[in-house]
């Protein structure tokens, strides 16, 4: 019986691609570089701000890279001021969180904690989560298992009682590394073909399908 649901954030609970892309492209402009397509920026999301900006800088001007730390500071400042301009919950998210409100629910993301908590509050879903772990809280980033293992201890549940829901290969690998079951959603930032090749336990086209999952029958 599943007792703990762990959700990824970007591409799973929230569609944040526009706000992230706008902040990245504002940063590139400040550095004298041209913009990148939204979909290309979205493909860089999932492994933390440092990786996001590394990939964006390489894509915008591979022959001449500015100092990475400056680009990170610029991005964080701009994104922090505009992280709820266009970001929205995916359809069914609020309904699913409410449906499972009697279970333990948590968020594990490589996004910084301050951004994560501000978004959850701003979108009115922060109260559903008993624990939120961001990418800057001292744990190795996903796909390392440590954040998930921390939650298992916090909620006193076993791996077989836990389900991790995400939209990327990284999330599937994280679940596998921690020994928990995994659900991959196809509507997020990850490519369906990559998700299928990662072989999650369950593949969903809509998060609402989770309410009918045999593993989660009440």
Residue tagged active-site, from 8, 10, 19, 171: 8
Containing 204, the helix (H) or strand (E) segment is strand 202-204
Active site includes 8?
Answer: yes
Cα dihedral across residues 109, 217, 176, 17: positive or negative: negative
* DSSP state for residue 183 in the 8-state scheme: E
Which residues are CB-neighbours of 62 under 8 A, at least 6 positions away?
none
Containing 120, the helix (H) or strand (E) segment is helix 113-122
Containing 70, the helix (H) or strand (E) segment is helix 68-82
Q: What residues are annotated to the active site?
A: 8
């Amino acid at each position: 019986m599943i007792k703990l649901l762990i959700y990824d954030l970007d591409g799973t609970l929230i569609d944040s691609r526009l706000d992230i892309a706008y902040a990245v492209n504002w940063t590139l402009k400040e550095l004298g570089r041209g913009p990148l397509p939204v979909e290309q920026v979205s493909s860089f999301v999932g492994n933390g701000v440092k990786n996001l900006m590394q990939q964006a800088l390489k894509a915008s001007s591979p022959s001449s890279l500015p100092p990475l730390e400056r680009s990170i500071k610029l991005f964080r400042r701009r994104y922090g001021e505009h992280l709820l301009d266009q970001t929205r919950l995916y359809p069914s998210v609020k309904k699913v969180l409410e449906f499972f409100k009697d279970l333990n629910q948590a968020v594990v993301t490589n996004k910084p904690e301050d951004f994560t908590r501000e978004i959850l509050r701003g979108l009115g879903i922060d109260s559903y989560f008993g624990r939120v772990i961001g990418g800057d809280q001292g744990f190795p980033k996903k796909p390392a298992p440590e954040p998930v293992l921390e939650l298992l201890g916090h909620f006193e549940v076993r791996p077989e009682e836990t389900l991790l829901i995400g939209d990327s290969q990284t999330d599937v690998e994280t679940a596998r590394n921690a020994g928990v079951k995994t659900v991959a959603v196809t509507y997020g930032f990850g490519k369906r073909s990559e998700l299928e090749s990662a072989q999650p336990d369950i593949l969903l086209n809509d998060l609402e399908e989770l309410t009918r999952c045999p593993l989660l029958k009440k």
